[in-house]
Amino acid sequence: MLSFFKAYKKFAIAFTIISIVIIALIYNTLNVYQPLPIYQPAMVSTELVDSTIQYKKKYHKIADFSLVNQNGNIITQEAYKDKIYVADFFFTTCQTICPIMTNHMADIQKEILNDDEVMLLSHSVTPDIDTVAQLRQYANKKGVNDEKWNLVTGDKKQIYELARKSYLAVKDNGDGGPFDMIHTENFMLIDKKRQIRGFYDGTNSEDILRLLKDIKILKEEYQQ
């Protein structure tokens, strides 16, 4: 009888060890790090992409830019060098989706306020209306932190081309006017190499949570 229990004890120990190994393997398999996709123009709805790049499948990056923020400062790509950032397109007089988008961007600002790696960038699609003074007033109203979040205006042609050739984010107005555009609710997550890593509905609270989660995943990518 004693020998039986000794044999059973050895079996139990071996079974426990094997079970632990199997559970660890299953856990690691289910929790394998999954990098975020790198979006190319060919992966995005053609209505949001300039016809000249609609079929581009690689090497897409955000172009250089020079715009003016709510403080009258020139903002270029250098302000976002080695940063992860969230970009969108809006206008201050919009009464439909913009207030929701801006409130959600403010929520993101709260989450990344002490994170030196992450910033925000909002482009006006009506730069003729959204002067520096107008942006300053809007920024004050919405609680914009100037160190984290730039609201930018500038040359309409440049903003149009950034929107449709870089961020793949707005629709052409289609009425024949030069550089007229209809912004969407999209937020774009941009990595440190100026690549698009995610699109999110800026009016959807669940998508904002997904965006915040993806920022953490993207930061983890730089720690690999």
Q: What is the pLDDT of residues 15-54, one digit of tens each?
A: 556 655 455 444 444 456 689 999 999 999 999 999 999 9
Query: Smallest Cα–Cα separation from 50: which of 177, 143, 132, 160?
Result: 160
H or E segment and range at residue 68: strand 66-68
Same domain, residue pair 80 and 111: yes
For the chain, the domain total comes to 2
First CA to last CA distance, the chain: 55
Residues 10 and 48 in one domain: no
The whole-model pTM stands at 0.84
Same domain (yes/no): 124, 24: no
Residue-by-residue pLDDT tens, the chain, 224 positions: 545 445 555 555 555 566 554 554 444 444 566 899 999 999 999 999 999 999 999 999 999 999 999 999 999 999 999 999 999 999 999 999 999 999 999 999 999 999 999 999 999 999 999 999 999 999 999 999 999 999 999 999 999 999 999 999 999 876 656 688 888 999 999 999 999 999 999 999 999 999 999 999 999 998 87
| Alpha-carbon gap, residue 5 to 14, rounded angstroms | 14
Q: Which residues are annotated as a binding site for Cu cation?
A: 94, 98, 183
Torsion sign over Cα 79, 83, 89, 93? negative
Domain that includes residue 160, residue range: 41-221
- In sequence order, the β-bridge partners of residue 149 are 120
Work out the angle between the directed axes of helices 205-221 and 98-112 (0-180°, nearest 10). 40
Let me know whether 8 and 82 are in one domain.
no
Please name which of 62, 57, 145 lies closest in space to residue 105, comparing C-alpha atoms: 145
**DSSP-based three-state secondary structure for 134:** helix
Binding site residues, as ranges?
A: 94, 98, 183
